[in-house]
Every structure is written in structure tokens, then in C-alpha cells.
A and B are shown apart, each in its own frame.
Chain A
Amino acid sequence: MDLTVHAGERVAVVGPSGAGKSTLLGLANGSVLPSTGSVRVLGTDPTALRGRALRELRARVGTVHQHLELVGQLRVVHNVNAGRLSSWPAWRAAWSLARPQGLPEVLDALTRVELADRVFERTDRLSGGQRQRVAVARLLVQRPELVLADEPASALDPLLAGRTLELLAGLAVDRGGALVASLHDPVLALRHCTRVVGLVAGRITLDAPAASLTAGDLADFYGAPR
């Protein structure tokens, strides 16, 4: 596969489960290493970096994971603050667990996902949709340039799903970056993205501007025999 995403683009990655959508996003945030070929993220090859430089690159890439990967035992405020661990020194990260730091920014981010009233709740007490919004709030605090989202709307009702994708897209555009999101819902993909990339069994079988596609085309793509 050969794929280049430019600044300002909002890319929807679609395809049946097991097609390699999560692996593609993992390659971009450095949690999956390429066995062959090369990856360049924000103009840099992450496999060539070590230590501090690698952490600085990673801080510029934000991910909403499919299984959320939040720490259930922590309060919401700490899970949101985890987005700042790349810039905080260790002592500040430790102190924040006792006395939450940077509360105004956290509350601001949580207000934008309509969850400000749960800021001190333990994260494992929240519902699936609420947790998804905590994961988005973490990204709002991290302020990355490249936003990666793995099924960011799967546990949300249509209204919230739309608003979440708007937030993520806006976040990427504010920082002059891009959004790459794997999506199941063709309507969301067409409404919020500028480009649609279709994957089947690890190969790109569709790559077109969203404006040239209809919901029907995408439904056909999902229903395509494989």
C-alpha cells in the first residue's frame, strides 16, 4: 500500500473488519512497526528516532483508540490530563495524581464533550459513550497536529457522533494538521471527511474525494463480495 495524507485533509478509512484499518493507524502513531517498507509521520521517520525526540514526535500525534485504552481506576480528570504526560516532568505528573493540575483546561475540554459534571468520577463508572468522550477530551488537551481516530463514533448516538467528529476535525485543522479516522458509518464519512480510502485485506481498493461519492457507493463498498 502507498498512501500519503496532506495537511488539512480529513481522511475516512473504510473497510470490512480485519481489513487492516487499525494496523494502518497503528503504523502512523508508532505502536506498530513496519515489517517492510517505510513510514514518515509529520515529515519524520519514527523508527529512526530514540528517547526525547521520539516522545516529542509522538506528542504531535493524537489517537482515539478503538478500545479507548483509558485507565478505569483513575478519575476522569487524570485520564484527560494523561494527554499532557509528554510535556509534564515526572514530578508534576505524580503531584497531579494528588492535586489535579491544569483543572481549567480539563474542564474546558470536558465541557466541549458535555461531560464537565463527571470530572472527578472514576472512569470505570462511566458508560461506553461517556468513556469515548473522555478519550476525545484527552486529545483536546493534548492538542496534536495529526489526529488518528479508530471508530471514534461507534458507541455514540448520531447527534453526539457528528459533534465528536466535528471536534476532532476542528482540532486537526486548528493546528494545521490532518485527521485520519476509520469509520463504519458511510453517512458520517461523507459528511465530515474530504477524502475516503477503502481497504480490503490490507490493500487500498478505493481512494476518492468525498464529494465524488454517494452514500450508496459506500454501502456498495461495504457489501462488496470479498
Chain B
Amino acid sequence: MTTVLVRPRVHPRLHRVRARWGWGLGALAVVVWSLAGAGAFSGEVTNPAGTAQFGRFAAAALSPALDGAFLRVLADSVLVTVAYAALGAALAIGLGAVGAVALARTTWGRRRAGWTLARGALAVPRGLHEAVWGLLLVNLLGLDPWVGVLAIGIPYGAVTAKVFADLLDEVPRGAYSALLAAGAGRATAALYGLLPPASGGLLSYSFYRLECAVRSAVVLGLIGAGGLGYQLSLSFSSLRWEQVWSCVYALALLCLAADAGGRAVRRRVASPRASGDRLRRDPALTTAVAVVLAGVGWSWWYLAISPATLVSDRTGAQLAYVLSAAWPPDVDGPLLSAVATAAVDTVQMSVIAIAVATLGAVLLAGVAARPARASAGRRLAGAVVRLGLLLLRAVPPPVWALVLLFVLLPGVLPGALALGVYTLGVLGRLAAEATEELDPRPRAALTALGAGPVGGWLYGVLPAATGPVLAFALYRWEVAIRDTVLVGLLGAGGLGALLASRVAAFDWGAVTTVLAALVLLTAAVDLVSARARAALR
């Protein structure tokens, strides 16, 4: 006998994913809290008197200074910046290669304690911005080219070591284990079984670091290390807007060249040419590596760097003095409350920055992405937006802060918006690339059934792009909290400003406290961002 069961009729209900709603509402609350803290809802924030000056600054964009004398100065500055970037990146990659061995799981095997300790030790160099390293090093070494090189090399070296170690750990174990089983030593097995599969990623990442180093070298120039950043701040403080714009365009070109070069190398690494029966190397890659090596040698000569400075008696004495003065850290009440207030300001600045950048990036990504088929007008709009984004990220955040101070009253808000504008340049490009990589067919299907551009974007692009773009935004928040310190160093408030004032007063005990707060804050932000990204997946 068969019994037919009547299927109960269930009324479907809309279930929201609790975790995501929690993160979303939490993020909204933090943004509102940050805006309120920055005074966006209360009192005067704009400075109408500065509008005329801002107009003069903006108008100069069309007439950059192009006279021979200034162009020669500009060319020299570009060379100095490139030299710092090349040496800094070279040092970072060297440190990274050594550090990767100390950090890789492969080295530690099952000894988790050692591995955790090695990773934890990285939090200090990674948590401090290049500019902070610059500020500290200048007090140790005086005005020496080593300051710029080490300020880039130390934090970049720490990041590079972590990424290199991750790349090595992600290589499938099969070949390596087989070599070990065949009796090869661990080093030899790694050389044949781990390094070749990882080499593409390692090379790509090295060139990416070189691109980043160009930007960092400019920022270090702003705080006095020379080069394009220095020239930019000189022209700015003497109100020579035409020269400022020449510097900005030179910067944009430099960033564009670094970007295009890095991209070309990464593309070549990703799809190597067939070699056949003869040993053939890719000429483009060989040239790129040779040019970089020659560039590093030239930079050494051009900056007239001497290793003697690092081991001189004066440096040793200064280091001993600073270290003895810096310990124990200063923990009296007024300083701690100042640190807490500054930390809140720093968090609020970074949150406003990332909110502004994410909103802008989402709105612009659709236009900035290169569509497969498009009209001439659409192509032109895309090119204009992409150029605009390039200019936004070519100008370092402190310069944006100075520009915004024309029209905004001093405080947390101009610093936050400056950082937001700069981050928009970076995030807009990442979001556009994420949009380009989406499957175009769902949107094409919606167009084919008559959906308009907005409807097609809402249903065909937005749902698929939200995840990657939010993940990028959270990652950039980690970067933004470090950059907030940079904007602060130049006066916008927060932990950066506090640090700058304590260093200027040679109050090394307080400096240790502020640095510890900085490292803790960046580590906390990294943790929250990682959790939020996990909830998004």
C-alpha cells in the first residue's frame, strides 16, 4: 500500500543574513559618529573667504609653469624621487626575501609558537607609516639620504616579507614533498619545488612595491627628504600655483609610468612565451630586471650614499641616547588622555575618508570601467574619469589637505576629506577594475529585454560588484588609518600631530607611548577589517 503525503504549504519568508546586517548597521553608526565628531553637523566648517584663492589655484591647472629653469629643477627633483624609490624598494625586497624565510610556515613546520612570535614581531615595522619612520630616523641620522631609503625600506620590507612568505606557503606542497622524500635537503627542495611556482608572484609583487615606493618617496619629500614632494611643498608655501600644477602633472606622469611598467611586467609574468627546445628568456622581462638593477646602482651613486654613516660613532651614540631616553614609556594621566583623544580623532578621520572614497568609487566605477562595446561619448567620459582618478591619487593626501584648507576651516574634517579624495583615486580604479572583471552576460541579457542603464546597473552589476568593492574598501581602510598619521604629522590633528609635537620636544618617553598606541590602533583596525571581510564572504 502506498500513502501519499500531502506536502504542507509553506509560506516563504524573506530572511536577512543577521551577521551582514549587523556589520552594515554598525558601519553606518560609526560613519555617523565620525561625522558628528568631526563637526560636520554642528557649527561652521566652510571658509567662504578662501574661495577666491581656491579659484586662483584651480585656474592655474590650465597654465602650469613650463619655463626652462623650473623644468630643470623639476627634472632634478624627479630623479631624486626615483632614486629614493628604487633604493627603498630594493632594500625592502632584500629584507623581504630574508624575512620571508623567517616567516614562512614551511620554515617553522609544526612549531606554531615560533611562527606566531615571528609574525607578531612584524606588527611594529608594519604599523608605522613611512613618514613616521622618516621622522624617527632623521633624529638618529640627521639629514642623510639614508633616512629616505630606510624610511621606505623598513616598513615595506616588513610587508614584503609577509607577502613573500604567504606566496611561498600557498604553493601546492606536492613537488616539494616529493623532493624531500627523494632525499633532497630542505633548502634544495625549496629551491626546486617551491621557488619556481612562486617566482611569478614574487616578481609581480616586487614591481608592485616599486610603484608604491615612488608614491612614498614623494611623501617623504614633503617632510623634507628632497625630490618632487619637497619641490611641491616649496612651491605651495610660496603660493606659486603654476609651479604646483607642474609638480602635480610630473607626479601623475611618474605614477602613470610606474603603473604602466609594473602592469606590463605583471602581464608578461602571467602569460609567458613559449620557449621550445632552446633556452630563451623573455627579452622584455630581462630588460626590466636589468634596468631596475642598473637603476639601483645609479641611485646609490646619485644620492651619494655611504654605508659609513650607519656605523659611525655619532649614529651609535645618538641611538644609545634615544633608546635610553625612550624607555620607560611615559604613562602619566594627561598624556594618556591626550593619546586617547587623538586616537579617537584618528579613527574618525580614517572612517570619514573611507566612507567618502567608497561612495565616490561606487558612483564612478561604472563610468570609469572600460566597456566592451561603447559609443564615442561614453569612451570619452570614461577616459576623463580615469584621468581624474589618476590625478586624485597622484597628489599625496597632505597636499590635498592644504588645498582643502582654502575652503574649509582647520580641524579634523579637511584632513579626513583630503585622505578621502586621495583614497577615492585608488579605490575608484580598483572598483572599475572589479567591474571590468565581472561576467558581462547578465547585464547584456537585461539590456536585451529592454532594461534602462540605471536598472541594468542596479540588477546586473551592483549585486555582483558589491562584495569585491567592499572588500577593497575595508583593505584600504587599513591603509587609510596609517595615512591618517601622515596627514596628522603635517598638522591635521590626531595621533600624527601628537607624535610630531612630542618628537619636536625631544620627549622620547612620550614618543614611545604614542608609537605603541599607533601600533595597537593599526593592529586593531586590521583585525576588525579582516573580520568584516570574512563576514562578507
Does A100 contact B12, Cβ atoms closer than 8 Å? no
Does B458 contact A97, Cβ atoms closer than 8 Å? yes
A86 neighbours in B (Cβ, 8 Å): 449-452, 455
Interchain nearest-CB distance for B61 vs A (Å): 34
Instruction: From the candidates A58, A74, A94, A100, name the one contacting B449 in the complex (CB within 8 A).
Output: A58
Does B459 contact A74, Cβ atoms closer than 8 Å? yes
Question: How far is B391's CA from A214's CA once the two chains are assembled, in angstroms?
Answer: 68
Does A30 contact B448, Cβ atoms closer than 8 Å? yes
Instruction: From the candidates A61, A67, A116, A119, name the one contacting B448 in the complex (CB within 8 A).
Output: A61
Within 8 A of B (CB), among A76-93: 78, 82-83, 85-86, 88, 90, 93
Q: Residue A71 at the B interface, CB < 8 A?
A: yes
Q: Residue A220 at the B interface, CB < 8 A?
A: no
Does A67 contact B450, Cβ atoms closer than 8 Å? no
Instruction: From the candidates B12, B449, B458, name the one contacting A63 in the complex (CB within 8 A).
Output: B449
Scan B463-483; emit 1 where CB is below 8 A from any A CB, else 0: 110110000000000000000
Q: Residue A112 at the B interface, CB < 8 A?
A: no
A88 neighbours in B (Cβ, 8 Å): 455
Does A74 contact B463, Cβ atoms closer than 8 Å? yes
A62 neighbours in B (Cβ, 8 Å): 449
Question: How far is B455's CA from A198's CA once the two chains are assembled, in angstroms?
Answer: 37
A93 neighbours in B (Cβ, 8 Å): 454-455, 458-459
Question: How far is B489's CA from A226's CA once the two chains are assembled, in angstroms?
Answer: 75
Within 8 A of A (CB), among B437-460: 441-442, 444-452, 454-456, 458-460
Does A82 contact B12, Cβ atoms closer than 8 Å? no
Instruction: From the candidates A30, A58, A94, A118, name the one contacting B12 in the complex (CB within 8 A).
Output: A118
Q: Residue B13 at the A interface, CB < 8 A?
A: yes
B12 neighbours in A (Cβ, 8 Å): 116-120
Q: Residue B14 at the A interface, CB < 8 A?
A: yes
Interchain nearest-CB distance for A79 vs B (Å): 8
Q: Residue B15 at the A interface, CB < 8 A?
A: yes
Q: How large is the interface on A (under 10, 10 to 19, 20 to 34, 35 or more residues)?
A: 35 or more
Q: Residue A72 at the B interface, CB < 8 A?
A: yes
Scan B11-27; emit 1 where CB is below 8 A from any A CB, else 0: 01111000000000000
Does B463 contact A85, Cβ atoms closer than 8 Å? no
Q: Residue A56 at the B interface, CB < 8 A?
A: yes
Question: How far is B282's CA from A154's CA once the two chains are assembled, in angstroms?
Answer: 45
Does A85 contact B442, Cβ atoms closer than 8 Å? no
Q: Residue B121 at the A interface, CB < 8 A?
A: no
Scan B211-236; emit 1 where CB is below 8 A from any A CB, else 0: 00000000000000000000000000
Does A94 contact B448, Cβ atoms closer than 8 Å? no
Does A90 contact B452, Cβ atoms closer than 8 Å? yes
Q: Which A-chain residue is minimally distant from B10 (CB atoms)?
A: A117
Instruction: From the candidates B13, B442, B447, name the one contacting A71 in the complex (CB within 8 A).
Output: B442
Within 8 A of B (CB), among A42-73: 55-63, 65, 67, 69-73
Instruction: From the candidates A63, A85, A120, name the one contacting B14 in the complex (CB within 8 A).
Output: A120
Q: Residue A31 at the B interface, CB < 8 A?
A: yes
Residue with the greatest number of chain B CB neighbours at <10 A, chosen from A31, A82, A118: A82
Q: Residue A164 at the B interface, CB < 8 A?
A: no
Does A85 contact B464, Cβ atoms closer than 8 Å? no
Q: Which residues of A contact B (CB under 8 A)?
A: 29-31, 55-63, 65, 67, 69-74, 78, 82-83, 85-86, 88, 90, 93-94, 97, 100, 116-120, 142, 144
Q: Which residues of B contact A (CB under 8 A)?
A: 10, 12-15, 441-442, 444-452, 454-456, 458-460, 463-464, 466-467
Considering the complex of A and B, which 10 residue pairs feature the smallest CB-CB distances, nearest first? A86-B450, A59-B450, A85-B451, A58-B450, A69-B445, A90-B454, A85-B455, A73-B463, A55-B450, A93-B455
